[in-house]
Structure 1
Amino acid sequence: MKKYIEYISIAVVLTGLTACNELDTKPFESYDDETVWGSKESAESFVINSYNGTITNFTGYAYSESITPNGIHSDLNNLDAFPVERFDRFTGSAQGLDDFFANLRECNMIIEKAPTEALKAEGYLLRGVLFFHQTRWQGRFVPILRVLNTKDKEAFRTLYTKNPTESYKYIMDDLTKATQGMPETSAPGRANKYAAHAFRSRAALQAYAYTKDAHYLDIAIESAKAVINSGKYVLTSAENFGNMFVEAGKYDKEIILAHYRLSLNTTVGNFNEMIRVVPNINNNEVKFVGGKEFADAKGRSFEGWASYFPTQDLIDQYLVVDQADHTAKPWYETSQFLNNVENGDISSLTEGALNTVRHNVPEAADLGTNAKGNIITRYGKIKSSATETNISKLMYQHRDARFYQTVVYDQSNWLKEEVETNICGNLWAGVREGQSDSWYTTASGYYWRKAVVQVEPRVYVSNNTDYHFVIARLGEMYMNLAEAYLLKGDVAQAVTALNRTRVTHGNLPASTAATLADAWKDYIRERRVEMAYEGDLYWSFLRWGQYGGDANDGAAAGAVINALNTPVHKIQITKDRKQFMVAQITRNGAWERTFTTKRYLMPIPQGTLDQRSASGINDAQNPGW
């Protein structure tokens, strides 16, 4: 008798039961086992297809970064509810239960039916990262570890894991099996044992943060070293750092795993990282404010719908090399800045003091204080004795090399155009009439450069393009190694690890941190710039908050994360580049960023729990929800 594979919507079964013996098993498809598993080629096709909804959960940069201090989502008149915590226990999970069970079933089928041990190991990787994706968000998932059929009524009633401790045991078991059985090499876009080690190292740090089980630190170190010592991956040069995220470096030797899309079925509009980071500005608007006109004959260089932007808070993390003593410092502490710029009196600034063309700078919303403190936090102007009178040069020259390949800033080049983000510049926040920022223009004074592909003839929603997301790379392994050593109190090894990326990618002098407090400070700064805009930082801040102490501004473990509870900032540079101000981004109430400790574990959607409860499946909600 032929065996058949049934793709059953298990989520419907689990959430829609009205009686113990009533199972809705549709929609389903049946495939002959021999057709799918009868050859290595067909089995591999099934496995590769199963990357969708498992591995691909780790793609996407823009939104994840926008809920950290590194970024903001500022879209016309719409408030982003997540960073200000305007949501409740009915909020969705990382992946809806319907999709989760469909993807989990495919993973279990691979583990049970794949014809080779290597493919089975790949199934363990896919299941492990699927569990990890859910656990990072809400700490818990439904652990079904085999292929179910309609007769498995009790298995359909499986409860969510009790807590992150139980969840991470499942995750580590799967990822460890993957590292033991997967091949050492693979084609681009396909995982191998080192991709499994990369995920294992990443998950181990998160597991330690939520369980405080020290053996996870050993796992994080073991897997990071397995990748580093394999010799198969090499840190790219500072000059090529940005190329890893665009066509020029899509197969860079630093990349452990990436997700590749071909132009045949991919357009600019498919990704926030393209259509939602490029502004929408034409030459008529530029002419009105007196900015530099675009070189494109029709002024159509920028026709995106930008709503995701880097913040001044991120820019502050990129150190500048002091031209006097050649040490790395924050930009506002270098000799070249201090010799030429003086602090202005913030209280002297009135509405329109820096500009009245098109929009006032400051505008009324920039003045005074709010519940988070002073709205304008820094005001500077060129000294009468200055030898350099261009504030943009003083701020942006001699930076960490990654700065130039991550963000678009005043007087830089981007998408074949000379860019001005200062007041009345061609990509200024207020260049459009509609409102003073966020009208598909920057909310912060900056745009994302990282992962923006040059598309011919231009970046436009319907234009086709190749695209890829870097999911794991060697730089992260050094970051994970440094973090694990810091948690073990080994300052020397931690600093050695963080210096690998700081020096190679950043072209900066090495950190000389000798105390745990200084090492944590340098490490957090390094991770924020090394892993900026790669879907990493939100989860890192959650870890650091769980650690407490030097990792979270001296707060207790599990306390409020100050960095997620503080407004993010913008910069305004005057048209003559002789003055600047830094202020909170207040558009649409964005200044009200809030983090409460219940957000360490997001809720299991209450609607899901209610549906399961109606069928006699009684799961507890997460703490605080």
Structure 2
Amino acid sequence: MKMKYIMASLILSAAIMNTGCKIGPELTNVYDESVAWTSEANLELSLNKFYPLIGQTYYTPHITQDAYSDVLKMNTPNADPNLYVLGSAQITPGTNPLGNWDNAYLWIRNCNEFLDGLQKNGSKLAPEIVSRAEAEVRFFRAYVYFELAKRYGASVILLKKLPEEKFNGRSMPAEVWDFIAEDLDFAAENLPVTVPAAKRGKLTRGAAFGLKSRAMLYAKRWKDASDAVRNLDNLGLYDLYPSYEQLFNQKRSSAAENKESILEFGYQSPDFGYSFDYFYAPPGDKGYAQVSPTENLVSEYEMADGSKFSWSDPVQAANPYANREPRFYASILYNGAQWKGRTVETFVGGVDGYAAGGGTTCTGYYMKKLFDGSIRTQTEGFRPGELTFYFMRYAEVLLIYAEAMAEQGDLNEALKALNRVRTRAGFTAPLTAGSKDDFMRLLRHERMIELAFEGHRFWDLRRWGLASQLLNGISVGGTKITKNAAGSLTYERVDADNGKKRIYAERYNRFPIPATEIQRNPMIEQFDEWK
């Protein structure tokens, strides 16, 4: 089979990645199989087509996934996450907005075609180039299989190479997790430890260790997860960025050192930016305000001294946004917040005011994290965004290590890792835990806050077996603020789901195989809970 890569697509892929490589590909309308392997430059172009897998759309899909959980609420009533969580639509073998079966197998075939071509034609290139190219593609194949495994319980079709049979059956979960680990072990062994600044964003050994730690956490292979983190730490390259808020304001063009970034996707305005802010920023910024943080999340941000916030405390309730932890101010736009040279007004009738129906907040809050606050869009207008997307950062790795060590019974090590994340967040008193259950409550809270809006919450609740408890039969909350004649404010807790209860069926813990796959593949049988 010929590998036909449209020239324009290849140039776009290379430019999106902004690797800085000076490559002069052979000018032709299409690449056939022979041209793709004639030089390292052409090989790089072939490899670059895989990189959009890790972040081409900035945080948009991660925001959408978080809106299926309890931390974000879509403001438009008929937005897909609202329809599904409130029961107007249901996940079925025919429709699944969180499924990825068909797209994943398209990417797996692309990976296997590349690896097949590399095996047949790699002798034309230097051995170290071949090994690195294989390592990159096996990393991406492992990532795609991980995304399949976390949705379908790892009981999926395992294709280690281009299939010889027309139809293939599902493999056992252990075999799938083994394969993911094998691909990432090969990637770690053959990827470079570092890359030149001009190639920032290309895969490294640390990225392979990081993804393996994440995958093994989902597989509940606790020692494999913690070992992967230790291997990453042994590289001596990664650490927490000093400021949580500034971490999310990094641009590729600034070339600033950032040891927290393990794998990132860089953007550069105007040609390769994104429109994220335009769709999600508040109306006072001239944005479309499609999503808002829930009170469920906002109330979880602690006070600056590490104590819990409570609306039942009259002092805190009178001034609820004062003296909160730094991550609150880095992540949430609330009434009275200073932002882009103006004061955010989420009270009823304010420029960002509370309302139901879309176009403004239905919870009383907006995101701040992930937005570029340096551009006064209310007067200057929007331009293509260029903040960095983090596929994986060191804080997540520390939380993975903490959880994995707790599951292995080592609470001391678990607490050390957890408290490193909290120290960067501004807390001075270390947390303690007398039991694994106590520790896991702390860990779950920390992941909710530290990783907010990064697409982890829904999947975390699901893998912990808590989704049917915390996402079913509940409504997410908001705060409606009324500005009184004398200028004082009245805070009213409201139901942001407008009286409806959320639905999370127990069988959602493993998504159904798509009906189209069942129909076209006689080797596949639907999961029992979906028959």
Bucket of the pairwise TM-score, normalised by the shorter protein = 0.7 to 0.9
* Partner residue in 2 for 1:65: 66
Is 2:321 aligned against 1:396? yes
Which of these residues, 110, 114, 117, is aligned with residue 106 of structure 1?
110
1:569 alignment counterpart: 477
The aligned residue for residue 133 of structure 2 is 119
Moved more, 460-469 or 66-75: 460-469
The 2-side partners of 1:242 and 1:144 are apart by: 38
Task: State the one-letter code of the partner of 2:107.
Answer: N
Give the direction of change, closer, same or farther, for the CA distance of 1:329–1:514 in structure 2 (3 Å limit). Answer: same
Deviations 1:292-324 (A, max 9, x none): xxxxxxxxx522211211111111211103xxx
Deviation of the 1:462 alpha carbon: 6.8
- What CA distance in whole angstroms lies between the structure 2 residues aligned with 1:54 and 1:93? 19
Matched, 1:128 2:142: yes
Which whole-Å CA distance do the structure 2 matches of 1:77 and 1:106 have between them?
Answer: 35
Structure 1 residue 501 and structure 2 residue 421: aligned? yes
The aligned counterpart of 1:83 is 85
Shift of 1:266: 4.2
Kindly state the Cα deviation for residue 530 of structure 1 after the two structures are TM-superposed: 0.8
Partner in structure 1 of residue 492 of structure 2: 581
Report what 1:377 is aligned to: none
Bigger drift between 301-310 and 402-411 goes to 301-310
- 1:93, distance to aligned residue in structure 2 (A): 6.9
Q: Determine if the alignment matches structure 1 residue 260 to structure 2 residue 266.
A: yes
Give 1:442 shift.
0.7
1:330 corresponds to which residue? 308
Counterpart of 1:621?
526
For 2:480 and 2:338, the matched residues in 1 are separated by 19
Work out the number of aligned pairs and report it: 485
1:147 pairs, out of 162, 172, 176, with: 162
Tell me if structure 2 keeps the 8 A contact 1:307–1:441: yes
Partner of 1:447: 366
Matches within 5 A, 1:23-38: 31-38=31-38
Shift of 1:520: 1.6
Deviation string for 1:459-489 (max 9, x for gaps)?
7997333243111000001100111122122
* Equivalent residue runs for 1:514-553 within 5 Å: 514-545=434-465, 552=466
Distance 1:594 1:95 in 2: 18
Distance 1:92 1:250, change over 3 A: farther
C-alpha displacement of 1:55: 6.4
Q: Which residue of 1 aligns with 2:396?
A: 476
d(CA) in 2 for partners of 1:526 and 1:340? Answer: 25
Contact 1:54-1:129 within 8 A present in 2 as well: no
* Separation of aligned partners in 2, 1:319 and 1:307: 26
CA contact (8 A) 1:411 1:418 kept: yes
Q: CA deviation at 1:57?
A: 8.9
Offset at 1:32?
A: 3.5
- Partner of 1:329, secondary structure, is coil
Compute the displacement of 1:110 (Å): 3.6
Instruction: Check whether the contact 2:285–2:376 (CA below 8 A) recurs between aligned residues.
Output: no
In 2, Cα distance between equivalents of 1:83 and 1:245: 34
| 1:231 alignment counterpart | 236
8 Å CA contact 2:55, 2:389 repeated in 1? no
The match for 1:317 is 300
The Cα of 1:397 is off from its aligned counterpart by 2.2
1:278–1:302 CA contact under 8 A, matched in 2: yes
1:161 matched to 2:161? The reply is: no
**Pairing 1:183–2:192 present:** yes
Match of 1:51 in 2: 51
Identity %: 23
CA offsets per residue over residues 480-533 of structure 1, 9 Å max, x none? 011112212222221111101011124353212233232122111111111111
Residue 214 of structure 2 is matched in structure 1 by 202
CA distance in 2, matches of 1:318, 1:425: 24
What letter matches 2:300 in structure 1? Q
Residue aligning to 1:594: 503
> AA paired with 1:312?
E
- CA shift, 1:448, in A, is 0.6
Distance 1:217 1:513, change over 3 A: same
CA 1:482–1:524: 2 relative to 1, 3 Å: same
Shift of 1:35: 1.7
Aligned counterparts of 1:246 and 1:330: Cα–Cα separation in 2: 34
Contact 1:93/1:603 (8 A) holds in 2:
no
1:543/1:75 CA distance change after superposition, 3 Å: same
Q: Secondary structure at the match of 1:583?
A: strand
Cα pair 1:76 1:440 within 8 Å, conserved: no
Partner of 2:515: 606
Q: Name 2:337's counterpart in structure 1.
A: 412
Query: Aligned AA for 1:468?
Result: T
What is the aligned counterpart of 2:431 among 511, 521, 527?
511
SS at match of 1:560: helix
Aligned CA distance change for structure 1 residues 229 and 438 (closer, same or farther; 3 Å): farther
Residue in 2 that maps onto 1:10: none
Distance 1:97 1:442, change over 3 A: same
1:55–1:78 Cα change, 3 Å: closer
Q: Note the C-alpha offset of 1:188.
A: 1.9
* Contact map agreement 2:223 2:408 (CA 8 A) in 1: no
Q: Deviations over 1:579-607 (max 9, x none)?
A: 322232124x6x42122211111111113
- Secondary structure of 1:573's match? strand
**Superposed displacement of residue 174, structure 1:** 1.3
Cα distance, 1:516–1:563 mapped onto 2, change above 3 Å = farther
Structure with max Cα Rg:
1
State the Cα distance separating 1:132 from its structure 2 match. 0.9
Please list the CA deviations of residues 85-116 of structure 1 after superposition, one character each: whole Å capped at 9, or x if unmatched: 53122124756555434322331234340542
Q: Shift of residue 123 of structure 1? A: 1.3
**Runs of 5+ unmatched residues, structure 1:** 8-28, 209-215, 281-300, 322-326, 342-379, 381-390, 430-435, 546-551, 553-558
Query: Does the CA-based 8 Å contact 1:121-1:178 persist in structure 2?
Result: yes
The answer to whether the Cα contact below 8 Å between 1:104 and 1:130 also exists between their aligned partners in 2 is: yes
Give, in angstroms, the shift of residue 239 of structure 1.
Answer: 5.7
Residue 137 of structure 1, CA deviation: 1.6
Residues 205 and 220 in structure 1, CA contact (< 8 A), matched pair in contact too: yes
**1:281-430 aligned within 5 A:** 302-321=285-304, 327-332=305-310, 338=313, 340=315, 391-392=318-319, 395-429=320-354
| Cα deviation code 1:516-554 (max 9, x no counterpart) | 232122111111111111111211111211xxxxxx4xx
> Match for residue 276 of structure 1?
279
Match of 1:22 in 2: none
Which residue identity lines up with residue 45 of structure 1 in the other structure?
Answer: L
How far off is 1:77 after superposition? 5.0
8 Å CA contact 1:604, 1:621 repeated in 2: yes
- Aligned-partner SS, 1:142: coil
TM-score by length of structure 2 reads: 0.83
Matches of 1:178 and 1:144, distance apart in 2 = 18
For 1:138 and 1:468, how far apart are their aligned partners in 2?
30
Q: Structure 1: how far apart are the matches of 2:34 and 2:481?
A: 67
Q: TM-score, normalised by structure 1?
A: 0.71
